[in-house]
Amino acid sequence: MDGWMDGWMVEWISGCMGGWIDWCRDGWMGEWMVELISGWMGGWMVKWMVRWMDRRMSGCIVEWIDGWMVEWISKWMDGWMDGWMVEWISGWMGGWMVKWMVRWMDRRMSGCIVEWIDGWMGWWMFGLMDGLIDEWLVGWVDGWVG
**What local confidence, expressed as pLDDT, does residue 68 receive?**
27
For residue 2, being part of any structural domain is answered with no
Closest by Cα among 109, 108, 137, 135 to 125: 137
1-12 pLDDT, tens digit each: 233 333 333 333
Half-sphere exposure of 46 (CA within 13 A, CB side): 2
Total tally of structural domains belonging to the chain? 1
User: Residue 62 sits in which domain range?
Assistant: 8-142
Q: Are 82 and 105 in contact (CB under 8 A)?
A: yes
Per-residue pLDDT of 55-99, as tens digits, reads 222 333 333 333 322 233 333 333 333 333 333 333 332 333 333
pLDDT tens digits along 24-57: 333 333 333 333 333 332 233 333 333 332 222 2
- For residues 127, 10, 82, 89, the Cα torsion angle rounded to the nearest 10 degrees is 60
The verdict on residue 106 lying in a domain is yes
Question: Would residue 28 count as lying in a domain?
Answer: yes
Q: For residue 100, what pLDDT band results from cuts at 50, 70 and 90?
A: very low
Q: Could you tell me if residue 68 is inside a domain?
A: yes
Q: What is the pLDDT averaged over residues 105-127?
A: 33
Task: Tell me, yes or no, whether 3 lies in a domain.
Answer: no
The confidence score (pLDDT) of residue 61 equals: 31
